[in-house]
Amino acid sequence: MKGSIPDDKIQQMRDGADMFELVSRYVQLKRSGANYVGLCPFHSEKSPSFSVNPGRQIFKCFGCGVGGDAFEFLMKIEGLSFPEAARRIAGEVGVDIEETQLSPEEDRRRQERDRLQRVNAVAAEFFHRQLIESPEAEACRQYLNRRGYGKTSAAEYQLGYAPDRWDALTGHFRQQGVELDDARTLGLIRRRDKGEGDYDLFRGRLIFPIHDLSGRIVAFGGRILGDGQPKYINSTESPIYHKGQVLFGLFGARQAIRQATEVILVEGYFDQLALARAGVGNAVATCGTALTVEHAQLLKRYAKRVLLLFDNDKAGRNATFKAMELLLPGGLETAVIELDEGEDPDSFLQKRGKEAFAERLQAARPVLELYMQEQLASAPANPSGVSRAAQQVLEKLVLLPNPLEVDLSLKELAQWTEIEVDLLRQQLEQVRHQQHEREARSRRSASSSEIAPQVPLPAEANLAVKGRSADKLTPADGKLLKMIIFEKDGRGQVEVQGVDTFFFEPFACRLASELLQQLAGVVPGQELTRLQQRPELLAQLPMPLEYDSVEYAGVWRQMLENNRRKTADKRRRQQVKDL
């Protein structure tokens, strides 16, 4: 079995690495006192803000905020995983990597991941070869040519074609000796409802491979070539693919996003490819799903600003404003690129070119400004209608964490509505006060639940104490899950930073994600009522669901920090086990 690198070996590599020599391979450095400075390789700048401290063996950019040790520099500059960076440094500093044994369960999970990734690689190679060589794919090749994608582009983006047959891929898997159970787990093939055998999920479709942050293919998207429905289908979720946590194109776009400090978020695969082909390398797309909390956290790792480029219709606007509610609370500046109705990035670039798109990019409008304008434009032109629209805008302004932005938005709202800015400011404070009151009621309700729970819990929930679900949680994870339920501010922190920042075990991550989804928009004090709608979720939570707001009020932030540190440490240990 493969194993993990002991901590003392990791420390030896960290101590033995020459940060100055390592960074000098990529950055021209000049001495400045005890440090060396240069232009940051992770974002565009004219004045040096990137610093290397050889004594402490660390780097730090005071412009974009990135920093760390030799491992982190190699991971960022080369796009390596931690095990890959560790292997590189170990070879350079002469440290022999001694491996410790994995547990049987750890080894089982690693072997499963490896098998599933190999199956996806076999499928991707099959789809691509069909596109390039098969007579059946002629219509698909002509379709791509009409959109400006020749053989070179198809190879660069690993595009493929799924033959319009029920068992083309299934037969190929049998020829290659692929375990069909693994292909079923990935959703590439499915058992027939009647009779024996399997059938292919993707048939008669153009195929887009979807990569994770390590560049491995974890899923596929398929576009139909005719007028049938659905237009797009995507791989089902699997042990290596969770669509709410993966963004199409992010693997190849990370460096461009870091340098630009902003990312363009589009809806479709062709939208992302069209922008990349036009030299706009900082674009990503969701994989057939709405933006999620995990997506927002992922974007925040690489960008400070998000530019939303969705369809300019009602559905696109709804998606834009839903995305706004996830992006703004995390401190991500969010703006909207507007194209004419009926146009997408691909058609726009083909008709008008890169310069015209650059103008639209430059003219991107703050998302709250657009929301404000649309709410007021659609309101009845009378005092009652304007008042209701202004109230809706105020309820969105509380999403902004920056008080300066809030103040500017209030002044803009005052100009458009002709309502005194002081009155709007008072109303905004009332909105905030109402939120605080709801939170206070929630805390009082939670603290009294030990004596008399506000909502009777279903009988099956209490079985979790001795059942097979609750005993998978560590005590710290259990406490943090309770905090997510009853502390709105703490829940918001988990939403912004991502559940995998605070939880390591997949079971705990899944519970936390489901809680965030179930409690989205809940009125404080009604959390247990909302959870009753999901008795199967309640049955997996630690019981009893008691939460002392007095006890936790001063420590929930420290709880988050403790779990964050422990999770980061566990994740690093897990990563090196893949060596």
Contact criterion met (CB below 8 Å) for 235 and 210: yes
d(CA 516, CA 500): 13
Q: Pairing state of beta strands 198-200 and 50-53?
A: unpaired
In angstroms, the first-to-last Cα distance of the chain is 10
Judge residue 257's burial from the number of C-beta atoms within 10 Å of its C-beta, 0-12 exposed, 13-18 middle, 19 or more buried.
buried
What six digits make up the tokens of 506? 């997949």
Instruction: Say whether pTM exceeds 0.75.
Output: no
Q: For each of the chain's 579 residues, which pLDDT tens digit applies?
A: 344 566 677 777 877 888 888 898 888 898 887 789 998 888 777 788 899 988 778 898 887 778 888 888 888 887 777 777 888 888 888 877 655 565 677 678 778 888 999 999 999 999 999 999 999 999 999 999 998 888 888 988 899 999 999 999 999 999 999 999 999 999 999 998 877 889 999 999 999 999 987 788 999 999 998 877 888 999 988 988 988 889 999 988 887 887 888 999 998 899 999 999 899 999 999 887 788 888 888 888 788 899 999 988 888 898 999 999 889 887 889 999 999 888 889 889 989 999 999 999 999 999 999 999 989 988 888 888 888 989 989 988 988 888 888 899 999 999 988 889 899 989 888 887 777 676 566 555 544 443 333 334 333 333 333 333 444 688 888 888 888 888 877 787 787 677 878 888 888 888 888 888 888 777 666 777 777 777 777 778 876 666 655 455 556 777 887 888 888 777 777 655 555
3-state secondary structure of 536: helix
Q: Pairing state of beta strands 100-101 and 3-4?
A: antiparallel
Please name the fold of domain 104-241.
DNA primase DNAg catalytic core, N-terminal domain (3.90.980)
Q: At what angle do helices 82-93 and 556-576 cross, to 10 degrees?
A: 60
Please name the fold of domain 245-363.
Dna Topoisomerase Vi A Subunit; Chain: A, domain 2 (3.40.1360)
Under CATH, domain 3-93 is a member of which superfamily?
Zinc finger, CHC2-typedomain (3.90.580.10)
d(CA 413, CA 394): 9
d(CA 298, CA 212): 12
Contact criterion met (CB below 8 Å) for 76 and 27: no
d(CA 525, CA 5): 47
d(CA 509, CA 480): 11
3-state secondary structure of 333: strand
Q: Would you kindly state where each structural domain of the chain is located, as residue ranges?
A: 3-93, 104-241, 245-363, 459-576
